[in-house]
Structure 1
């Protein structure tokens, strides 16, 4: 079994993906968790922060997804021991490049679905607690796109 691990998160905004990652890191040895935090977590949302403030711009989404994938692949090439893609990844096409690159570079791939995107109660909870004020109507639209494994 490979020593290198790529984790691909899936879930609606507010589902608890970041919380899952925090719990995962907390269970790691300190130096491993510190390295993962510094060099191993890749989220397209990161690119929307300007001066500590989140500013979503739909026109930049495609560019930022590409930049995130590029950074993820660079980390794979540098053989970071653990790498996490922290995007919603509701459809397979959204994460297949991450998965393919990780497998091609000898990583074990673990796909983690947080919550049940098709459950209306879960959707409402996500709308109430997501960090970027994504409204319930948008959460519901996103949920309708969800593809199971």
Structure 2
């Protein structure tokens, strides 16, 4: 299921025991904002549990204190660490597990989806924005928090595969 915030309402989690959410979207599209809004719409206990044990973003590994320092040489390592943490959360039956990466191509998130399904989770794929839309790409370049330039966002958008 791909869609925006209005198409995937928080009340859906009450219908499933275990849910894995896989975010998709360009840098600056609003993925993390969507996740934040989703998380705070839960009970305090669920919110705390997700934030401490169920939220996985490769970007988090690039922070040194409060400063984001992207290092392309460590990207593969950090993606693997993120996937490992996500799978561990599934294996210990965290009720709600979220992957907040760009996931432009299917191969980038297929391991997350396969692991979740293999461990009995319902999977929701949430796409924020239209990666192929030039106006959306320009907006993402303006508002992304990591300084990703428009040219890089355009290259990423070319990799987008619809599900």
1:109 aligns with 2:105: no
Pairwise CA distance, 1:2:
4.2
Q: Find out whether 1:121 has 2:135 as its counterpart.
A: yes
> Is 1:3 paired with 2:17?
yes
Q: 1:34 aligns with which of 38, 48, 66?
A: 48
Q: Secondary structure at the match of 2:108?
A: helix
- For 1:8, what is the secondary structure of its paired residue? strand
Are 1:80 and 2:94 counterparts? yes
Counterpart for residue 65 of structure 2: 51
Could you tell me how far 1:50 is from its partner in structure 2?
1.1
Number of residue pairs the alignment of both structures matches: 149
Moved beyond 4 Å, runs of 4+: none
In the aligned structure 1, how far is the partner of 2:60 from the partner of 2:44? 23
The answer for the alignment partner of 1:133 in structure 2 is 147
Distance between the aligned counterparts of 2:139 and 2:53, measured in 1?
31
Give the TM-score normalised by the residue count of structure 2: 0.89
Matched, 1:22 2:36: yes
After TM superposition, give the deviation of residue 54 of structure 1 in Å.
Answer: 0.7
